[in-house]
């Protein structure tokens, strides 16, 4: 058992003991008050009893009064002298004395209270109470086996046992998932992200169960992120190794045959440019994933932005025997970074041209005025992608099996991060009549007729 278990156990048990003690004290106090209630009795019966007791005490003496009191059942008659001592040394509750003074101070005569003076000059005040006061508690050790009766009753023992059991169960209920979570955290700190705590917590439905589920989701995301980082490192190494190997080979050729210097320098420049492009794309992707690539927000006309991209790409489409069909629409103003959005949409359009040479590229735009969303679709009539490839299309360094280009596979990954950084979404699906459809949805501020 851990420290948390014992802390909860001691705290809960002490709280229960305090509650039990307070409750027992209140019950005892109520019983003491009931036992100590000895108010002066009134009425004809009390008056007759007090009158008889007064005659017995006055003419027969204290011994006869004691015998008469012992034989009396029901109400009790007490006799106190001027010092407040009872003739038979029975304790008089303070409340009873207060009631007696209150009755004596009244304006009306009280037949239930009589004053008697004995032959020796002793003066006693007699009155009746409904219940006899208890005698003084015996001193010294309890006689015989009476000490056994001083032990707590079975109800008290059962209550204490129940409090110990409930405190232990509650402490275990709280400490068990915390221990499981601690073991999982230690495993995660050691690099083991396969540990999950939901199975150890069980079917409970509380904040600790929610915490365990959140830990499992965090561990799963970290595991996926680390796997993606390892894959990214592998892909970057692979992408950089090839141009570096070509540069190294070109240098060796120049050493062996200086006459090939100009041709080899051209190859080296191309490979260096390829590496520079790769590093630039990686830096852009890294800044977007870190949320640092947006920069200053500007007002952007999305329709005009798409028209500029189409005009730039049309020359490449003509050399590729492709046709781009695009119809300008009303003015739609959004907020963002023009360079990022331009690069993202251009990457999608150029990707359609590269993977579907000789086909028509259809670019459509719709406006959802209720949700204020700008929807752009880029549709080609190429071979499309397999279902498993559609899910990975926007991952870094992914290239489909039918890819005909030698790019790094970072363009669509950067496009996705750029669109998401502007509060939008991008998705891909195969068209019904063949080809690929990439859908971009962006929020806008207002739409004006041109």
Looking up residue 249, the CATH number of its domain turns out to be: 1.10.287.130
Buried b (16+ CB within 10 A) or exposed e, 57-70: bbeeeeeebeebbe
Under the banding of pLDDT at 50, 70 and 90, the label for residue 24 is low
Cβ–Cβ under 8 Å, residues 93 and 40: no
440 and 357 part of one domain: yes
Mean pLDDT lowest for which of 6-15, 51-60, 92-101, 315-324?
A: 6-15
pLDDT at 7 over 70: no
pLDDT at 230 over 80: no
Under the banding of pLDDT at 50, 70 and 90, the label for residue 35 is very low
pLDDT at 376: 92
pLDDT at 60 over 70: yes
Residue where one domain finishes, among candidates 244, 271, 289: 289
Cβ–Cβ under 8 Å, residues 419 and 443: no
pLDDT at 194: 84
Please identify which residue in the block is written with the tokens 């005490």: 57
pLDDT at 12: 73
214 and 277 part of one domain: yes
244 and 320 part of one domain: no
Q: Which residues contact 293 (CB under 8 A, 6 or more apart)?
A: 284, 287, 337, 340, 417, 418, 421
pLDDT at 197: 82
319 and 390 part of one domain: yes
Element (H, E) at 427: strand 425-430
Q: Best-predicted range by mean pLDDT among 234-243, 295-304, 317-326, 436-445?
A: 436-445
pLDDT at 174 over 60: yes
274 and 322 part of one domain: no
Mean pLDDT lowest for which of 57-71, 138-152, 307-321, 346-360?
A: 138-152
267 and 304 part of one domain: no
pLDDT at 244: 85
d(CA 299, CA 304): 12
pLDDT at 291: 65
Please identify which residue in the block is written with the tokens 């059942």: 73
Domain annotation covers residue 162: no
pLDDT at 136 over 60: no
Residue where one domain finishes, among candidates 234, 264, 289: 289
pLDDT at 358: 78
- Select the more confidently predicted residue: 172 or 37: 172
**Which residue from 370, 366, 354, 359 is spatially nearest to 440, judged by alpha carbons?**
366
Q: What distances in angstroms separate CA 334 from CA 298, 337, 338, 422, 448, one per listed residue?
A: 8, 10, 10, 9, 12
257 and 340 part of one domain: no
Domain annotation covers residue 156: no
Domain annotation covers residue 54: yes
Domain annotation covers residue 224: yes
Q: What distances in angstroms separate CA 292 from CA 282, 295, 372, 409, one per listed residue?
A: 13, 7, 26, 22
263 and 328 part of one domain: no
Cβ–Cβ under 8 Å, residues 418 and 292: no
334 and 441 part of one domain: yes
- Select the more confidently predicted residue: 274 or 55: 55
Domain annotation covers residue 121: yes
pLDDT digits (tens, 9 = 90+) for 412-442: 888 888 898 888 999 999 988 778 899 999 9
Q: For a pLDDT cut of 90, what percent of the chain falls above it?
A: 5
Cβ–Cβ under 8 Å, residues 191 and 32: no
283 and 306 part of one domain: no
Cβ–Cβ under 8 Å, residues 48 and 109: no
d(CA 95, CA 79): 16
pLDDT digits (tens, 9 = 90+) for 361-412: 899 998 888 889 999 999 988 888 888 888 788 887 776 655 555 556 677 8
Domain annotation covers residue 17: no
What rounded mean pLDDT belongs to the chain? 78
Residue where one domain finishes, among candidates 246, 263, 289: 289
Element (H, E) at 437: strand 436-443
**303: buried, middle or exposed (CB in 10 Å: 19+, 13-18, 0-12)?**
buried
pLDDT at 271 over 90: no
pLDDT at 450: 46
What's the pTM?
0.50
Using only C-alpha atoms, the chain has a radius of gyration, in whole angstroms, of 49
pLDDT at 290: 66
pLDDT at 443: 92
374 and 281 part of one domain: no
What DSSP line would sit under 27-38, residue for residue? HHHHHHHHHH--
| 3-class secondary-structure state, position 444 | coil
Domain annotation covers residue 277: yes
Print the domain residue range for 223.
Answer: 207-289
What is the CATH number for 59? 3.30.450.160
**Which residue from 312, 384, 383 is spatially nearest to 346, judged by alpha carbons?**
312
Domain annotation covers residue 159: no
Number of domains the chain is built from: 3
387 and 333 part of one domain: yes
Q: Report the 3 state secondary structure along 216-265.
A: HHHHHHHHHHHHHHHHHHHHHHHHHHHHHHHHHHHHHHHHHCHHHHHHHH
What DSSP line would sit under 129-187, residue for residue? ESSPPPPPPP-SSPSTTGGGGGSPPHHHHHHHHHHHHHHHHHHHHHHHHHHHHHHHHHH
Cβ–Cβ under 8 Å, residues 351 and 419: no
pLDDT at 278 over 50: yes
């Amino acid at each position: 058992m851990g420290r948390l278990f014992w802390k909860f156990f001691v705290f809960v048990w002490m709280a229960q003991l305090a509650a039990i003690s307070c409750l027992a004290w209140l019950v005892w106090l109520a019983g003491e008050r009931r036992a100590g209630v000895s108010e002066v009795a009134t009425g004809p019966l009390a008056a007759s009893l007090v009158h008889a007791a007064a005659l017995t005490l006055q003419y027969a003496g204290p011994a006869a009064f004691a015998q008469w009191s012992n034989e009396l059942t029901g109400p009790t008659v007490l006799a106190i002298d001027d010092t407040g001592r009872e003739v038979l040394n029975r304790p008089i509750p303070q409340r009873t004395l207060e009631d007696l003074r209150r009755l004596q101070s009244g304006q009306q005569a009280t037949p239930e209270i009589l004053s008697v003076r004995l032959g020796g000059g002793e003066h006693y005040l007699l009155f009746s109470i409904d219940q006899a006061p208890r005698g003084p508690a015996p001193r010294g050790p309890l006689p015989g086996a009476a000490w056994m009766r001083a032990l707590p009753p079975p109800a008290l023992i059962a209550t204490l046992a129940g409090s110990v059991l409930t405190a232990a169960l509650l402490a275990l209920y709280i400490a068990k998932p915390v221990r499981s979570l601690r073991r999982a955290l230690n495993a995660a700190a050691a690099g083991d992200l396969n540990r999950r705590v939901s199975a150890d917590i069980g079917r409970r439905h509380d904040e600790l169960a929610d915490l365990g589920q959140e830990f499992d989701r965090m561990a799963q995301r970290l595991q996926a992120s680390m796997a993606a980082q390892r894959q990214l490192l592998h892909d970057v190494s692979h992408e950089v190794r090839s141009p570096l190997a070509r540069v190294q080979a070109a240098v060796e050729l120049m050493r062996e045959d200086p006459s090939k210097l100009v041709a080899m320098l051209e190859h080296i420049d191309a490979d260096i440019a390829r590496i520079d492009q790769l590093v630039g794309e990686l830096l852009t992707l890294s800044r977007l994933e870190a949320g640092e690539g947006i920069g200053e927000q500007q007002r952007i006309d999305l329709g005009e932005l798409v028209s500029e991209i189409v005009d730039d790409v049309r020359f490449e489409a003509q050399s590729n025997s492709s046709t781009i069909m695009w119809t300008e629409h009303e003015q739609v103003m959004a907020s963002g970074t023009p360079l990022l959005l331009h690069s993202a949409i251009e990457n999608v359009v150029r990707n359609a041209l590269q993977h579907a040479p000789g086909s028509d590229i259809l670019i459509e735009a719709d406006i959802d005025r209720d949700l204020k969303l700008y929807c752009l679709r880029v549709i080609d009539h190429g071979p499309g992608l397999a279902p498993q490839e559609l899910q990975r299309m926007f991952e870094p360094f992914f290239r489909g099996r039918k890819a005909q280009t030698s790019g790094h596979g970072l363009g669509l990954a950067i496009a996705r991060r750029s669109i998401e950084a502007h509060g939008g979404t991008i998705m891909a699906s195969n068209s019904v009549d063949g080809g690929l459809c990439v859908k971009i949805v962006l929020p806008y501020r207002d739409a004006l007729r041109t």
